[in-house]
Amino acid sequence: MSAARITVGTADLDHPLDLTSPRLSVEKPAVRYDTQGDRTDSDRLAAAMAAFSQDFGRDAATWLESCIHCGNCAEACHFYLTTRDPKYTPIWKLEPFKRAYKREAGPFAWLYKAMGAKSKVSVAELEEWQALIYDACTLCGRCTMVCPMGIDIASLVGLARHGMSQAGLVPHELWAVSERAAREGSPLGATPKVLKERLAWLADENEVDMHVDLPQAEVLVTFSSIEIMKYPQSLVATARVMNHAGYTWTISSAGYEATNFGMLAGNAEWQKRMTMKMIDAAIACQAKIVVLPECGHAYSAMRWQGANMLGRPLPFKVLHVSEFLAENIASGRIAVTTVGRSVAFHDPCQVSRRGGATQAPRDVLKALGVELRETRDSGDLNFCCGGGGGVIANHRADEIRYKAFVIKMAQMDATGADEMVTSCSNCRQSFDDGQSHFRWDRKMGSLLELVADHLAGPEGIGATARQVATAP
């Protein structure tokens, strides 16, 4: 194991850290394009319909046929609740998808076509629809919790995005970051070179061991680009926790980016490419565990969809970092000291409600001895931060996103907790942006960083060992 160092100054000049702006994203381009590629309308429509057809599987068809038009889903959606605009009713966001199903693949498709009872979906409708399924849906799935028919609307929106992506009808900024992620390996420019420089700088600055590209390790650690570029202390916290727990662990410069903007944009090919990088990296270092960062959609993409991308069960265990912390605290491998403050926890929708790991962060907070103050709607029924599903990357959605965030602010304030923490850097970014927009006097923190700051022993704050170890 050799050590590589780089000075703080050089890394900072080449790729300056942006620790002050409320969020990271592509700035509004001079010219807005909400279509990609130079294609005819009929080509776009054909591509969308072909992709839709592939997604009309058994579950999707069941849900698409089952809606009773009760409108209850509106009452669960933060975008509807804060605007009272009926077009934000979750199931309405799927109307063209539903119509395409009924006309092209439903049980009476032949009858509808013969009678002309359902008109064809047009490109103009899909363009109009773009704002509903990308700007006004964070895929949070709260609507699923209220639907009397149990329709999983968020899953359907995720499927519908496939057709939109195939048709080149993705909001520009979301498409741009997704394309960049597919091309460079990171949506925010956190290329392997940038990552290594960041790690070297962070190891030096924070006096912590970092392990990069080890040929073999028990644990492969992954990050979100948002952490790498905006919340680098999360990288430090991860290293401290791993060192404290005593695992052989590594970061792989071939597969470190866990966010999956391909999935959010609806591009299945990009999604697979991004996922496979991590899977290949884990297989290469014979990892037994892949730890996913504080990122909600990263959890969905790898924990619940990774094996389907690979085409066989994953040869390693996948844990969100909050699950990793909970398991290792329970086993005694991680020891923590008491925080002694009250905390309000914001559940990342994809980890809790849609991921099944709702209890893990609560177990961690309990071990930290905090007084957990739950929001009025918490756990599986929490409100989304408003920025999930790629919405925060899309400037066009800012206005309704801020409106939705008002619910979150009010609920957090109502807890009266000393501090707020979450286990998703994208949520954290949404909170930072909301804080800046509303001049809110609260700051969202990280569960992982809270643990790292309260490790019992030398890896806590003030640790002395420091080096970046890389493969020979």
Partner 1 sequence: MDSLTLLAFARGPMLVIAIAVFVLGILWRLFHLLWRPSKPDLSEPRSTAVVRGALGAIVTRMWHHKTFRERTLAGTLNAYAYHIGLAIVFFGFVPHIAFIERLTGLSWPAVPGWLFATAVAAVFVGLVYALMVRLTSPVLRLLSDFDDYASWVITILPMITGMAVLSLALDSPYPAQPLYPAPLAIHLLSVELLLIWLPFGKLSHAFLVFISRGATGAAFARKGASL
C-alpha neighbours within 13 Å on the C-beta side of residue 176? 16
Cβ 299 to partner 1 shortest distance, Å: 10
Q: Decide if residue 354 touches partner 1 (CB under 8 A).
A: yes
**For residues 55-69, b (16+ Cβ closer than 10 Å) or e, as one string?**
bbeeebeebbeebee
Q: Decide if residue 315 touches partner 1 (CB under 8 A).
A: no
Q: Decide if residue 436 touches partner 1 (CB under 8 A).
A: no
Cβ 434 to partner 1 shortest distance, Å: 22
Q: Give the chain's end-to-end CA distance (angstroms, integer).
A: 6
Burial class (CB in 10 A: 0-12, 13-18, 19+), 145: middle
Cβ 72 to partner 1 shortest distance, Å: 5
Q: Which two tokens stand for residue 152?
A: 């999983």
Instruction: Yes or no: say if 365 and 315 are a contact pair by the CB < 8 Å rule.
Output: no
Torsion of CA 267, 273, 275, 277, to 10 degrees: -160
Smaller CB distance to partner 1: residue 137 or 174? 137
Can you tell me which residue has the tokens 């390996």?
185
Q: Decide if residue 252 touches partner 1 (CB under 8 A).
A: no
Residue 240 three-state SS: helix
Contacts of 460 (CB under 8 A, 6+ apart): 240, 244, 337, 452, 453, 454
Smaller CB distance to partner 1: residue 117 or 456? 117
Cβ 104 to partner 1 shortest distance, Å: 13
Count of other CB atoms within 10 angstroms of residue 382: 23
Cβ 193 to partner 1 shortest distance, Å: 33
Residues 141-200 within binding reach of partner 1 (CB under 8 A): 144-152, 155
Candidate residues 273, 288, 317, 403; the one interacting with partner 1 per rule CB under 8 A: 317
Candidate residues 15, 45, 47, 63; the one interacting with partner 1 per rule CB under 8 A: 63
Smaller CB distance to partner 1: residue 136 or 199? 136
Q: Decide if residue 413 touches partner 1 (CB under 8 A).
A: no
Per-residue binder mask for partner 1 (CB under 8 A), 66-105, x = binder: xxxxxxx-xxx---x---x-xx-x-xx-------------
Cβ 91 to partner 1 shortest distance, Å: 7
Closest CA to 86 of 97, 75, 96: 75
Smaller CB distance to partner 1: residue 91 or 239? 91
Smaller CB distance to partner 1: residue 26 or 283? 283
Candidate residues 304, 398, 419, 460; the one interacting with partner 1 per rule CB under 8 A: 304
Pairing between β-strand 2-3 and β-strand 209-212 as defined by DSSP bridges: unpaired
Q: Decide if residue 296 touches partner 1 (CB under 8 A).
A: no
Q: Decide if residue 381 touches partner 1 (CB under 8 A).
A: yes
Per-residue binder mask for partner 1 (CB under 8 A), 37-56, x = binder: -------------------x
Question: How many residues line the site for partner 1 (CB under 8 A)?
Answer: 60
Q: Decide if residue 377 touches partner 1 (CB under 8 A).
A: yes
Per-residue binder mask for partner 1 (CB under 8 A), 113-152, x = binder: -------------------------------xxxxxxxxx
Whether the CA torsion 78, 80, 84, 85 is positive or negative: it is: positive
Q: Decide if residue 353 touches partner 1 (CB under 8 A).
A: yes
Cβ 130 to partner 1 shortest distance, Å: 18
Residue type, 323: E
Candidate residues 9, 313, 332, 462; the one interacting with partner 1 per rule CB under 8 A: 313
> With left for phi above 0 and alpha for psi between -120 and 50, is residue 3 left, alpha or beta?
beta
**For residue 319, what is the enclosing H or E element?**
strand 317-320
Candidate residues 10, 62, 122, 436; the one interacting with partner 1 per rule CB under 8 A: 62
Q: What is the gyration radius of the CA atoms in the chain, in angstroms?
A: 22
Residue 13 three-state SS: helix
Q: Decide if residue 280 touches partner 1 (CB under 8 A).
A: no
Count of other CB atoms within 10 angstroms of residue 411: 18
Q: Decide if residue 255 touches partner 1 (CB under 8 A).
A: no
**For residues 165-197, b (16+ Cβ closer than 10 Å) or e, as one string?**
bbbbbbbbbbbbbbbbbbebbbbbbbbbebbbb
Smaller CB distance to partner 1: residue 26 or 67? 67
Footprint of partner 1 (CB under 8 A): 56-59, 61-63, 65-72, 74-76, 80, 84, 86-87, 89, 91-92, 106-108, 144-152, 155, 303-308, 310-314, 317-318, 353-358, 377, 380-381
